[in-house]
Structure 1
């Protein structure tokens, strides 16, 4: 799972394996070590009708409604987004890049733009 933060926008991108693990467990997390500190970011299934988020103890958690999870995993739907002022939240499947990059993309979803 990747995180991208810009201003009040938080985006998570998940590989095929991430989506499968999240679907099976209802929870997924990653950590980044900063010297003596750790930033944890997580995605958790939640009984709600919209995305929401919290930030506690250096941990960002985005909560995804269970109804979204099922349709996301079983269809070609790319992702979901919500604006919970002032936050803009986006959860999406991670596609293979159209240009050459050094990172391993073998577990990413096929880019739909390649089929145009």
Structure 2
């Protein structure tokens, strides 16, 4: 899972196996280990109707409605957006880069619909 934070926006990008895990277990998480503590970022399924997020201590938790999780798992839906206070939220499927960069493993990313053969 990747996150991108810029000013008042947070975007989570999920690989195919992470979308499957979210559908099966109701949550998916990852972390970056800093010197004194980890920075945790996670998504959990909720019964709420809107995408929301909270930041508590060293953890960002994005809460995604069950209906959105089901759409990510079983349809071609790319993602969903929402807002918590002044923070814009986005959760989306992670596609293979068009330039096919070798800097990261993209083997579990979704095929990019903009690639042509």
Bin for the TM-score computed over the shorter chain: over 0.9
TM-score (norm 1): 0.95
Q: Secondary structure at the residue paired with 1:48?
A: coil
Matched, 1:93 2:72: no
Question: Alignment length, in residue pairs?
Answer: 116
Residue aligning to 2:108: 107
In structure 2, distance between residues paired with 1:89 and 1:18 = 18
Moved over 6 A (4+): none
- In structure 2, the residue matched to 1:78 is 78
- SS in structure 2 of the partner of residue 19 of structure 1: helix
Consecutive unaligned residues of structure 1, counting only runs of 5 or more, are none
Matched residue SS, 1:113: coil
Q: 1:62 offset after TM fit, Å?
A: 0.2
Q: Distance in 2 between matches of 1:58 and 1:17?
A: 25
| RMSD (Å) for aligned C-alpha atoms | 1.2
Gaps of 5+ in 2: none
**TM-score, length-normalised on structure 2?**
0.94
What is the rounded CA distance, in whole Å, between the counterparts of 1:29 and 1:105 in structure 2?
A: 18
* Corresponding position of 2:18: 18
* Aligned-residue offset at 1:29: 0.7
